[in-house]
Amino acid sequence: MDVSRSPDTVSPAAGAGGSAVIEVRALTRRFGNFVAVDRVSFGVGRGEVFGLIGANGAGKSTVVRMLTTLLPVTSGGATIAGYDLVRNPGEVRRHIGYVPQLMSADGDLTATENLLLSARLYGIPFREIRSRIEQTLAAMDLAPFAHRLVKAFSGGMIRRLEIAQGLLHCPAILFLDEPTVGLDPAARHAVLGRLAKLRAETATTILLTSHYMEEIEELCDRVGVLREGKLVAVASPAELKARVGPAATLDDVFAALAGEEAKSPEIQAYRDVRLSRRAARSHG
């Protein structure tokens, strides 16, 4: 992590500029008759930290799952790190890292073994594997626990390991889906601290979703607000606050723009709630 972030890539209008590393065009996903994501378009500039906020069921995770190639798009598309999401998902996967809302570290393996698996899946050159794993563990403050089984880790340690897994192959873009869900304040602070450091030290572009307004404010250059599958605003946290009122907080922005929980019966809502609560329990 030796390349400093050049400040000029973080202009609020980065999405409109030529340096966009994520470009989303009218992205749409339907589950039956329910439109989970409705013609969403936005751009994220290189090195930018972009947040997606919205109520439960607003489509944040669905957007992330489409952009990470896990879920096929119904219509529309995106260009990610220069590759077309629909036509070239293999190359997209090669250039992104993903930290899902649920667990992505295997509890029955040690931290090093988890990273070794990632190294082999991503084809990291043999000679570099050991040093990369050590560096990444150190960067996430996990070096002393390299050979412990992950099931003995705390929730915050698991999250940091998962971020390490997502970063091991030096992706152009890191996707984080609710990275601090289910963590206690101290663990959240540690995770956010590592992300802030990553933001300060590398050119990695980050797209994250969150319910927590303070972490959005702390980390993000720009925020997209999703409401019932539609992107209703994209701006910097300061601009969003100014738009709502003179003394508005981001919580006020959330209340004003994001609205309430989606009432449409999304097919998998029950399963998603069950799974995310279970994930929260095992993380926390």
Partner 1 sequence: MSVSPAGLPARTVDQSSRAFRYFEQVFGVCAAEVQKLYHDPFELLTRAIQPVIWLLLFGEAMARVRGLVTGSMSYINFISAGILTQSVLFVAIFYGIAAIWERDLGVLHRYLVSPAPRSALVIGKALSAGIRGLSQALVVYILAGLLAVPISLRAVHLALMVLFIVVGAALFATFSLIVACLVKTRERFMGIGQIVTMPLFFASNAIYPLTIMPAWLRVVARLNPLTYEVDAVRALMLRGGSSDFGVGSDFTVLAVVFAVLVGVAARLYGRMGN
Residue 61 near partner 1 by CB under 8 A: no
Q: Which of 30, 94, 197, 230 is the binder for partner 1 (CB under 8 A)?
A: 94
Is the CB of 73 or the CB of 257 nearer to partner 1?
73
Q: Which of 10, 86, 149, 248 is the binder for partner 1 (CB under 8 A)?
A: 149
Say if CB 214 and CB 58 are below 8 A apart. Answer: no
Tell me the three state secondary structure of residue 84.
strand
Residue 70 near partner 1 by CB under 8 A: yes
Distance CA 284, CA 281 (A): 5
Task: State which of positions 10-29 bind partner 1 (CB under 8 A).
Answer: 21
Q: Which of 167, 191, 207, 240 is the binder for partner 1 (CB under 8 A)?
A: 167
Distance CA 208, CA 223 (A): 10
CA 173 to chain centroid: 9
Q: What are phi and psi of 183, to 5 degrees?
A: -95, 150
Say if CB 229 and CB 26 are below 8 A apart. Answer: no
Q: Which two tokens stand for residue 7?
A: 């400040």
Q: Which of 8, 17, 84, 121 is the binder for partner 1 (CB under 8 A)?
A: 121
How do the residues of the chain divide into helix, strand and coil, expressed in percent and rounded to 5?
40, 25, 35
Taking CB atoms within 8 Å and a gap of at least 24, the contacts of 234-239 are 234/15, 234/42, 235/12, 236/12, 239/12
Q: Which of 1, 196, 244, 248 is the binder for partner 1 (CB under 8 A)?
A: 1
How near is the Cβ of 3 to partner 1 at its closest, in Å?
5
Write down the H helix ranges in 54-121.
Answer: 60-67, 89-94, 111-121
Angle between helices 185-201 and 126-139 (to 10 degrees): 130
Q: Which of 196, 248, 275, 280 is the binder for partner 1 (CB under 8 A)?
A: 275
Residue 158 near partner 1 by CB under 8 A: no
Q: Which of 81, 196, 232, 256 is the binder for partner 1 (CB under 8 A)?
A: 81
Q: Which of 7, 32, 90, 246 is the binder for partner 1 (CB under 8 A)?
A: 90
Neighbours of 273 (CB within 10 A): 12
How near is the Cβ of 26 to partner 1 at its closest, in Å?
21
Distance CA 171, CA 219 (A): 19
Q: Which of 7, 123, 185, 246 is the binder for partner 1 (CB under 8 A)?
A: 123
- Interface characters, 211-240, with partner 1 (x: CB under 8 A): ------------------------------
By the criterion CB under 8 A, which residues form the site for partner 1?
Answer: 1-3, 21, 46-47, 65, 68-72, 81-82, 90-91, 93-96, 98, 100-106, 108-110, 113, 116-126, 132, 135-136, 139, 149, 165, 167, 169-172, 202-205, 275, 278-279
